[in-house]
Structure 1
């Protein structure tokens, strides 16, 4: 890429950040900045200062979601480039007057956070631990798939061992990263969490015998690392409260690593190893014996799980399966929810021929939906309309049932990483019947999801009253970007208190 092209890209990202900042209340209203796979996540002092409608009108903004943070959907790739530019704009800081003006709003936000359910807070913490790992999982997964293709074709035999090393290095040490992130999330010292979790993958544990069983490096995997880091944080905090300051720098890290490390070797690795094996065995048993039914159920329920944030509970399961088997057999099934969403959106486009604004939104959001980024279609079309969201779930159920059925027949489809879905999942596919069969089964599932979502929505997604309400000339034509939402003629994502609470995405480590 030339210098001019790089400058142009940087200018574009800075322009997007500069357009967003005043619409969220300016620098003084922003308390934190982070991003996941598709969303810029902002902590805000005063939610009332945000101009939602103006934000949605920005060409680069695919939608907005309000949860524990204010989330602006920019799409994969874009968000990772805009976030640094946004942070640069905030570097000037805020004035004391702005800080004082935001105190009341900050207290209100803290009160709202205290009202969150413990289970949802737990799921958010799980997401915060695992979501940062997704880019590496995707990159290594794609390289592993490319390497497998080259090995099968017999091409570049001198390069494939190096590619295998590059693809496998991260997975060999993923326990360390999980331990680091866990300690950071729970308020401990991250490097101590990583140090304790490193015991799980250390080759020397093969010389340790516990309850008559010789340990093996990696036994317990990410679950063992998670437990080790949690224990390390509790030990560290106990020490911080009791060890004199003069001795803290020496005693606290020593006791933390020693106590948590020994507990990991002589207990957690054994227990976590059994749990990990049970998860893998249960997933295989389900697909082998009840794949069609399980696929139908999971594919149909995944969109509601995302709306409630409950999909985050699946992240450690996906990671465990990838670590154990090289791929997760659950993700291709869950990805069918996005296929149902795409089919439903096409049906809505045909059923509302006079509503230019909704049709315009569908056309602009459909490419992202095909690539597995479902927020624009969910929050801009199906969820505000109501019934099309349900029929989209029907499409996902049939697509999931298709993939699950072939799992019962012996052709299991998996993904070597989590995060992408839709067409973006093709480079990450893996299975037990060869790449051609694996791709064919997944593509057949997508086609089934598209068709079922379309048929269900076209014939049962609209009542007569809904047609009368929405199939009207919006006065803006197809050139207007803002779609019509249920009840008020303008589309808004469901916010906290207005309906199902969207989950923290990730990122949404699993997109639909």
Structure 2
């Protein structure tokens, strides 16, 4: 039954994105089905958003359909199979359902969706700068690693709990091996993905980066010091693979085709490998050390202030596309300390959005369309999927987005304060937030205190986002226009449609 549901979702999506012949690439991340499209004009946005399984859409370098964690990983292979089988149009799915009737005042929700789409398009245009395009490529390297980070992180947390309780002592070493194996070789995977992203041969990128985790590097001396396996971590692997791509491309242009299969791989691995051993490992190791120390000092000395700024500014960073620079930083912290202390603080931004959405629901009792949108987007928001709330509710309204960020700031300040007081609250993986982050929490005082601090931080974020939005999120004009009650039928007049306030 579940398999049929995911198959039906994929079948409903396919014709609404222009059919199989309009799809050039299919991929997915934690929550989104990412599609490359030949002709964007063929996409039926409103009908797509009306599908029960679709939480929203995001237009970036690819067309991204938000399906939520778990669901997207099951729908994607079904969708890929349909695209491959369709060929010249065979197997096309029937048209998807029409947009549902949203009640007596549908115009407000439709106007919010239109404004959200315009804001997404504006953001996409502004994010097409060389720096942000580069950061997007860096994100493309690390995003495919997130499922493994999550799985291994949860297993590591379970193993730590069993060790602390002195349960199953014969099993815990095996769990430790399963949880640690991926992290021990993460440099290889980063190298593989880096080469693929920058146009090289993926396996050569992995081979070049593998030197970083090879035990024999302990016998190599660079800059007067002995190297240690793993030194430089993911940053070194990224640099090593990128250098390997440069060497490979240079060889492809100059080496005769008759000997290319022998010369190019050899020169690529040799040159990039030696450069990694006698330069990149040392430099990347120094950068990784400084990064870890800086993150520790940031929250241990200025925890409340730093948490306030990080929690409050994270969503604007997302809007600017700069949040992608944090992905390798999180991975570096996890590789060094076992968890990243930044992610739980940044996750408070989502809590502020949830609190703001609840306040919007309470402040607009007559706007059936907006309240319907909030109801449908709220539970994904609790689970850390924030796009439906951001683009469907708070951002198009303007002021509520700012007050939602205020809620995130207070939640971040709360978690940061406990870091400052000596209770580290970290995550063993990147990707989830909200309630979905609970299984991945780790810290220096055991799971009980760590979970309690994070849960209290979410509560602070919810409360602060609610209060800030309830009391400061609307002008009188906005309330008048958004919450106009329908005229009684006995008057014979048409019920006034909900409208979106033009001023914020």
TM-score normalised by length of structure 2: 0.89
Offset of 1:440 from its aligned partner?
Answer: 1.4
1:440 to 436, 452, 457: 452
SS of alignment partner, residue 361 of structure 2: helix
**Is 37-46 or 220-229 further displaced after alignment?**
37-46
Aligned-pair distance for 1:211? Answer: 1.7
After TM superposition, the structure 1 = structure 2 runs for residues 176-215 of structure 1, keeping only pairs within 5 Å, are 176-215=188-227
From 276, 280, 297, the equivalent of 1:264 is 276
Partners of 2:419 and 2:297 in 1: how far apart? 10
Q: Can you list the C-alpha shifts for 1:345-397, whole angstroms capped at 9, x where unaligned?
A: 10000000011121122122211111111111111111111111110000000
**Contact 1:288 1:408 (8 Å CA) reproduced:** yes
The aligned counterpart of 1:309 is 321
Q: 1:40 is matched with which residue? A: 33
Pairing 1:126–2:119 present: no
Mean Cα displacement is larger for which, 186-195 or 437-446?
Answer: 437-446
State the 4+ residue runs in structure 1 displaced beyond 6 angstroms: 112-115
Match in the other structure for 1:410? 422
Counterpart position of 2:19: 26
Tell me, yes or no, if structure 1 residue 86 matches structure 2 residue 79. yes
Whether the 8 Å contact between 2:356 and 2:468 is mirrored in structure 1 is yes
- Within 2, Cα distance between the matches of 1:93 and 1:19? 14
Matched residue, 1:136: 148
The alignment partner of 2:351 has SS state of: helix
Q: 1:115 to 1:420 in 2, by over 3 A?
A: closer
CA 1:293–1:469 in 2, change beyond 3 Å: closer, same or farther? Answer: same
Structure 2 residues not aligned, in runs of 5+: 90-123, 488-496
Which residue is equivalent to 1:421? 433
Aligned to 2:411: 399
Contact 2:139 2:327 in 1 (8 A): yes
Deviation of 1:28 (Å): 2.0
Q: Does 1:464 align with 2:452?
A: no
CA contact (8 A) 2:194 2:205 kept: yes
Cα displacement (A) at 1:116:
2.6
Deviation at 1:120, TM superposition (A): 1.4
Secondary structure, aligned partner of 1:205: helix
More displaced, 410-419 or 45-54? Answer: 45-54
Answer with 433-442 or 320-329: which moved more. 433-442
For 2:478 and 2:312, the matched residues in 1 are separated by: 23
1:448-459 matches, within 5 Å, as 448-459=460-471
Aligned to 1:246: 258
TM-score normalized by structure 1? 0.87
Aligned pair partner of 1:51 in 36, 44, 69: 44
Partner of 1:356: 368
Cα distance in 2 for residues equivalent to 1:471 and 1:162:
59
Give, in whole Å, the separation in 2 of the partners of 1:437 and 1:12.
Answer: 39
Secondary structure, counterpart of 1:25 in structure 2: coil
1:58 match: secondary structure: coil
- Map of 1:275 onto structure 2: 287
Match of 2:350 in 1: 338
Q: 1:115: Cα distance to partner?
A: 9.6
Give the 3 Å change call, closer, same or farther, for CA 485–277 of structure 1 in structure 2. Answer: farther
Distance 1:459 1:428 in 2: 35
- Cα deviation for residue 30 of structure 1 reads 1.5
CA contact (8 A) 1:381 1:485 kept: no
Question: For the structure 1 residues 440 and 115, does the alpha-carbon distance in structure 2 shift closer, same or farther, using more than 3 Å as the test?
Answer: closer
User: 3-state DSSP class of the match of 2:18?
Assistant: coil
Give the equivalent residue in structure 2 for 1:508.
none
Task: Give a deviation string over 1:224-264, Cα, whole Å, max 9, x none.
Answer: 00000000000000000000011100000000000000000
- Tell me, in whole angstroms, the C-alpha distance in 1 between the residues paired with 2:486 and 2:320: 32
- Check conservation: 2:477, 2:501, Cα contact below 8 A: no
CA offsets 1:60-92 (integer angstroms, 9 cap, x no match): 110111111111111111111111111122124
Cα distance in 2, alignment partners of residues 136 and 485 from structure 1: 45
SS at match of 1:42: strand
How far apart are residue 207 of structure 1 and its match? Answer: 0.6
| Cα distance in 1 between the residues matched to 2:44 and 2:499 | 17
Pairing partner for 2:382 from 365, 370, 384: 370
Distance 1:31 1:19 in 2: 18
Give aligned pairs, total. Answer: 460
| Conserved 8 A contact 1:380-1:485 | no
Q: Which residue is equivalent to 2:182? A: 170
Equivalent pair of 2:299/2:420 in contact (CA under 8 Å): yes
Structure 1 residues without counterparts, runs of 5 or longer? 1-7, 97-111, 476-482, 489-512
Q: Is the 8 A contact 1:68 1:113 kept in 2?
A: no
Q: Distance in 2 between matches of 1:115 and 1:348?
A: 29
Between the aligned partners of 1:140 and 1:406, the Cα distance in structure 2 is: 26
- Show CA shifts across 1:455-511 (max 9, x none): 000000001111111113579xxxxxxx978469xxxxxxxxxxxxxxxxxxxxxxx
Preserved CA contact (<8 Å) 2:344 2:433: yes
1:324 aligns with 2:336: yes
- Paired residues for 1:60-79 under 5 Å: 60-79=53-72
Task: Supply the distance in 2 between the matched residues of 1:444 and 1:76 (Cα, whole angstroms).
Answer: 24
